[in-house]
Amino acid sequence: MQEVTGSHEGVPASAAGGVRRLGRFTTNQKGTPMKTLRAGLTALVAASVLLVVLPGIAGAATTGTTTTTFTLTGGAMSITVPGTTVNLGSVSVAASSLTSLLGTVSVSDNRGLLSGGWTSSVTSSHFTTGAGTAAETIVAGNVSYWSGAATATSGLGSLLGSQLTSVLAVVVNAVQTAFTGGSLLGNNSASWNPTLIVTIPASAVVGTYTGTVTHTVA
């Protein structure tokens, strides 16, 4: 038997598993142009880079906001009255009454409320002289009060005296309303100068009479 030897000479390059050139294009075993493969890979890389970069751009912020708070705390409400003894004057024991201004009363409301309100009340003690016996006493039932209009106010709301004229005077042997604040917004204040009317009883004796007039606010 004759042994056959030889080379791949004369065998097409594709049959031998090699790479062949078709014109200007290089192909692999399956005949796919290498230039086409390179173009495809380049496009794939570019698309991957675009996918990585775009989310970062879309998420970039051009405005930032910060929630910020602060607190305002309320103050107190107070009332001031004449700080020293008030002399209402002098009349004859035969007079029917004594009328005099008491002095300025002021309420200062620093609570800072929304739709706040307050009421100032007034009451009087008996007035006595000497030893304060019954004959030396003018009872609180003989003492009347009227607030008059405000002499000064500040703030927003309704600030009104309860007795604008002497005709509306009230007996202050029991607690009576002197002044009110209503529908108040924020801080406010009011001042007034009330009038006292003391009716002199026929049994009154001469002397200097002393009593107290008390204002409150709530």
How many whole angstroms separate alpha carbon 198 and alpha carbon 201? 9
Q: Which pTM does this prediction carry? A: 0.72
- Higher-confidence residue: 177 or 47? 177
For residue 54, what is the enclosing H or E element?
Answer: helix 34-58
Count CA within 13 A, CB hemisphere, residue 172: 29
Count CA within 13 A, CB hemisphere, residue 42: 6
**75: confidence class by pLDDT, cuts 50, 70, 90:** very high
The mean pLDDT of 10-37, rounded to a whole number, is 48
- Higher-confidence residue: 50 or 59? 59
